[in-house]
Amino acid sequence: MTDKTDPKTANQMWGGRFAAGPDAIMEAINASISFDRRLYAQDIRGSRAHAAMLAARGIITTKDAEAIGKGLLTVLSEIEGGKFTFQTALEDIHMNVEARLKEIIGEPAGRLHTARSRNDQVATDFRLWVRDQADAAIQGLTALQKALVAQAEAGADWVMPGFTHLQTAQPVTWGHHMLAYVEMFGRDAGRFRDARARMNESPLGAAALAGTGFPIDRHMTARELGFDRPMANSLDAVSDRDFALEFLAAASICAIHLSRFAEELVIWSSAQFRFVTLSDRFSTGSSIMPQKKNPDAAELIRAKIGRILGATVALFTVMKGLPLAYSKDMQEDKEQVFDAADTLMLALAAMEGMVRDLTANRANLEKAAASGFSTATDLADWLVRKAGLPFRDAHHVTGTLVALAEQKGCDLPDLTIAEMTGVHPAITQDVYSVLGVHNSVASRQSYGGTAPDQVRAQVARWKAALG
Ligand code: ARG
């Protein structure tokens, strides 16, 4: 016979209904305190708002609410001071905080959970946490964008090869390439902003799933917690994790951008490219090959992105088959989002540091820009504009000239005028003016094009936008 009053055998939390405590394996699979302790500040904030509302509505006395509010602050400082003992037997952060509150203030602690359930409590805590992370992501992205804009401004007119299929395509400017990432990270920040705006509704007061018979004021708690309004459907409020999914989706797209850029940095810093030199602060050496300087930070960003994508798939999978309203499956939301958020913030910070320290090797970039017949399109365009050829014919003539240069082992500007006119009689000396990489980029003045003037205009726009 288990004795319900014996704390060693009785169930610590549901002693009324349960005679026995949980099996050790049940405790291991059920308890979330090992990870959801990260929600302590949000949990205490939500409870304080709830208690104050209960008093304002006359559901508990002001005296009790004050004792609860003060006691919760004591719990907060104990946790922050490392003096709090988290107990697995108490399952999660909500029960751990409440149990400690009871030890500190006694009977009034039992009134805190009036008109509330852990279902709306955890939904509230987690929303507050994810909302902070959306803000942190926006901050990290802004810092990274600023670093990229500084690179773009310095190198608005440095030429480098632009690639398609990783084959030399046309010359572009360094600034233009940097600004491409500024645009991507700008969209990422926009996605976090959109997600934040949508998630900013309060689940608190939805109680277990159906709302409550107590005369609560959900607008009051929503306001107190910085939410725009209470969620309008209590079933939705406790079973929705869209906010976490949206955060992960935004994080995943951002992660892909970070990974693509990391990949470019790995290629660019190789001995074969030498487009950039990474700082010592963001590189490592080899224990055996003394000449090596490895782009580990870029590689690790590229690799860690897998964790974010994995977390996203994991949470979508957790959610996809759940009936309304709360199911314990949803406890699995936290570790995924925690890890994805930690990984994202670290990757953003590492990328920002690398970009700030990055040295573009201007001479190598320019040399590479001029190779690979990169101005062939300029030559074809010249034949259209100056010699009046239809573009398809100009394309063919240029192709013939490229083949000729390839055969001779030289670049397009190295062909003599006689060789040029041998292929098409309308070609004049003037053609050489478009075969240089600087003229090539300067001519691409279309809006959003690679011309230094266009790059400078976009740099100015971003500087004003980023502050
Ligand atoms: N630890 C739980 C979670 O994270 C809190 C909610 C528990 N609710 C319940 N009905 N058992 O989801």
Q: What is the pLDDT along the chain (467 residues), one digit of tens a residue?
A: 444 445 455 677 777 788 788 889 999 999 999 999 999 999 999 999 999 999 999 999 999 999 999 999 999 999 999 999 999 999 999 999 999 999 999 999 999 999 999 999 999 999 999 999 999 999 999 999 999 999 999 999 999 999 999 999 999 999 999 999 999 999 999 999 999 999 999 999 999 999 999 999 999 999 999 999 999 999 999 999 999 999 999 999 999 999 999 999 999 999 999 999 998 888 888 777 777 788 999 999 999 999 999 999 999 999 999 999 999 999 999 999 999 999 999 999 999 999 999 999 999 999 999 888 989 999 999 999 999 999 999 999 999 999 999 999 999 999 999 999 999 999 999 999 889 999 999 999 999 999 999 999 999 999 999 99
Longest Cα separation, the chain: 107
List the structure tokens of 359.
């040295």
Q: Strand pairing of 276-277 and 229-230?
A: unpaired
List the structure tokens of 87.
């107990």
- The CA 232 to ligand 1 mean position distance, Å, reads 21
Task: Report pLDDT for 1.
Answer: 42
User: Vertex 343, ends 337 and 348: CA angle to 5°?
Assistant: 125
Give Cα 30 to chain centroid, integer Å: 30
Residue nearest to atom 7 of ligand 1 (CA): 118
Rounded Cα distance between 76 and 40, Å, is: 8
Q: What are the pocket residues of ligand 1 if the criterion is a CB atom closer than 6 Å to any ligand atom?
A: 32, 36, 92, 118-119, 122, 326, 328, 330-331
- The CA 38 to ligand 1 mean position distance, Å, reads 15
Total Cβ atoms within 10 A of residue 160: 28
- Ligand 1 atom closest to residue 93's alpha carbon, by position in its atom list: 1
List the structure tokens of 399.
């192709």
Has this prediction a pTM greater than 0.75? yes
* Best mutation site among 11, 18, 92 for ligand 1 pocket (most ligand atoms within 8 Å of CB): 92
Judged by DSSP in three states, 173 sits in strand
List the structure tokens of 73.
């602050």
| Burial class of residue 82 in the structure, from the number of CB atoms within 10 Å of its CB (0-12 exposed, 13-18 middle, 19+ buried) | exposed
The helix or strand, by DSSP H or E, that contains position 159, with its residue range, turns out to be strand 159-164
Q: Strand pairing of 359-360 and 201-202?
A: unpaired
Task: Report pLDDT for 14.
Answer: 76
List the structure tokens of 402.
């490229």
* Best mutation site among 97, 328, 332, 337 for ligand 1 pocket (most ligand atoms within 8 Å of CB): 328
Q: What is the DSSP letter of 323?
A: P
Task: Report pLDDT for 2.
Answer: 45
Q: How far is CA 333 from CA 227, 258, 451, in A?
A: 21, 24, 47
Residues catalogued as catalytic = 165, 286
Residue 190: partners with Cβ closer than 8 Å, 6 or more residues away: none
Rounded Cα distance between 253 and 263, Å, is: 15
